Amino acid sequence: MQEYLFTSESVANGHPDKVCDTISDALLDAYLRQDENAKVAIETLATTNQVVLAGEVSSSYKMTTEETDYIVRSVIKEIGYEQHGFHYKNVNIDNFIHSQSADIRQGVDRSDGLLGAGDQGIMFGYATAEAENTFLMPAAVFYASRLLMNLKEQRKTCDFLRPDAKAQVTLAYRDGKPYRADSVVLSTQHSSDASLDEVKELALKVIEQTLPENWLPSRDKIFINPTGRFVTGGPDGDTGLTGRKIIVDTYGGAVPHGGGAFSGKDCTKVDRSAAYMARYMAKNVVAAGLAEKCLIQLAYAIGVAYPTAMYVNTFGTGKVSDSALVQALKEVFDCTPAGIIKTLGLRRPIFKITASYGHFGRAVGEDGTFSWEKTDKTKDIINALR
């Protein structure tokens, strides 16, 4: 039996890069509430008591400086930053957002009425039944993110935990299936008066509650705040930037990544929307029982409506050929930007929540959040294969 170890990491919503992702997506949502056709690409940088905004927007809604500042400060406050080096009240905000290039805009809003892709690029979607969860995600990144989501819940009642945190999970696999955790790393920011023993006790409890029964590694393979102290954190300890956690955002390195980041981009940017669509397709293939795992790649040219290519790989687990799946998926799913937007309902302000703890492997919300996690196309795919 083939055995190996595989590792993925995740970061909390208070990680400096995630602070920036959340600000970018909160601003995107604010534009979409006023103008569902807004074209938005906003980048955020954060460091010691400083936030810098840049990017391009094309919208009928003109957001004021006061509105922008309020959104930024609200995000920082909601995450929980009220520390000397990064405080929602004291942070300085520089805004360099400007109008979108007319050259890009004419490629997206085409004269023939079709909606062109907002950029060239390749996007990947993936799903796997390797672990016993309904989310069909690679197990290492799934549990790394769940560790931090559960740690965040502890912050509601624990007065010494602070927002910044990271987790890393190494799983042992046997014949392609995870069966135990080989090691776990969990680092969390804390107040200056908290002892390492207090932090370790709470973190160990979170690890025990998160991992499946009998998966807990030996104590010498559990690393909690390995440096011994983590008081200075967030943008005060490490500069944050939108789009730097693309592997955390997706599949934890289990499969390829196209390279494009998601946060701050509206749905005409296929970096984001086509990655969501590829996940939607792959998850429905696996949920239909047509494969144990499925990787889908879509490729686009800027200003062109239809994908230039589609690739499917079921890694030898498919009930039908990969080429047959390509044809069936083309029949069932409209992968033009307009088709993706309509299918997944991406004109709504549903993106801020995606900025932390992964864009995939999340529960579908009644408000339309994580619509790409639905498995409502399984019968359509099966019928298209007949």
Q: Which domains does the chain have, with CATH numbers?
A: 3-10+139-232 (3.30.300.10), 121-128+269-384 (3.30.300.10)
CA distances from 289 to 173, 175, 293, 294 (A): 22, 19, 10, 11
**pLDDT beyond 70 at 301:** yes
pLDDT at 113 (0 to 100): 57
CA distances from 329 to 136, 241, 274, 283, 284 (A): 19, 36, 14, 12, 10
pLDDT band at residue 116 under the 50/70/90 scheme: confident
Mean pLDDT rounded to a whole number for the chain:
95
**pLDDT beyond 80 at 363:** yes
* Model pTM score: 0.95
**pLDDT beyond 80 at 110:** no
**pLDDT beyond 70 at 105:** no
Q: What is the mean pLDDT of residues 313-329?
A: 97
**pLDDT beyond 90 at 385:** yes
pLDDT band at residue 109 under the 50/70/90 scheme: low
**pLDDT beyond 80 at 103:** no
**pLDDT beyond 70 at 13:** yes
**pLDDT beyond 80 at 111:** no
pLDDT band at residue 120 under the 50/70/90 scheme: confident
- What is d(CA 12, CA 357) in angstroms, rounded to the nearest whole number? 7
What percent of the chain has a predicted confidence (pLDDT) above 90?
A: 90
pLDDT at 84 (0 to 100): 93
- The sign one gets for the Cα dihedral 272, 138, 280, 32 is negative
Q: What is the mean pLDDT of residues 3-16?
A: 97
Residue in 56, 46, 39, 42 with CA at minimum distance from that of residue 19: 46
pLDDT at 39 (0 to 100): 94
Burial of 376 (0-12, 13-18, 19+ CB in 10 A): exposed
pLDDT at 152 (0 to 100): 97
Asked if 26 and 45 count as a contact pair (C-beta separation under 8 A), the reply is: no
What percent of the chain has a predicted confidence (pLDDT) above 70?
A: 96
Q: What is the mean pLDDT of residues 257-270?
A: 94
**pLDDT beyond 60 at 319:** yes
- What is d(CA 379, CA 12) in angstroms, rounded to the nearest whole number? 37
Q: What is the mean pLDDT of residues 244-257?
A: 97
Q: What is the mean pLDDT of residues 32-36?
A: 97
- What is d(CA 186, CA 5) in angstroms, rounded to the nearest whole number? 18
Please give the structure tokens belonging to residue 210: 């998160």
Per-residue pLDDT of 137-167, as tens digits, reads 999 999 999 999 999 999 999 999 999 999 9
- What is d(CA 235, CA 46) in angstroms, rounded to the nearest whole number? 6
pLDDT band at residue 48 under the 50/70/90 scheme: very high
Output 351-354 pairs: Cβ under 8 A, ≥24 positions apart. 351/25, 351/28, 351/29, 351/32, 351/263, 352/22, 352/25, 352/26, 352/28, 352/29, 354/25, 354/262, 354/263
**pLDDT beyond 80 at 291:** yes
- The sign one gets for the Cα dihedral 258, 259, 264, 266 is negative
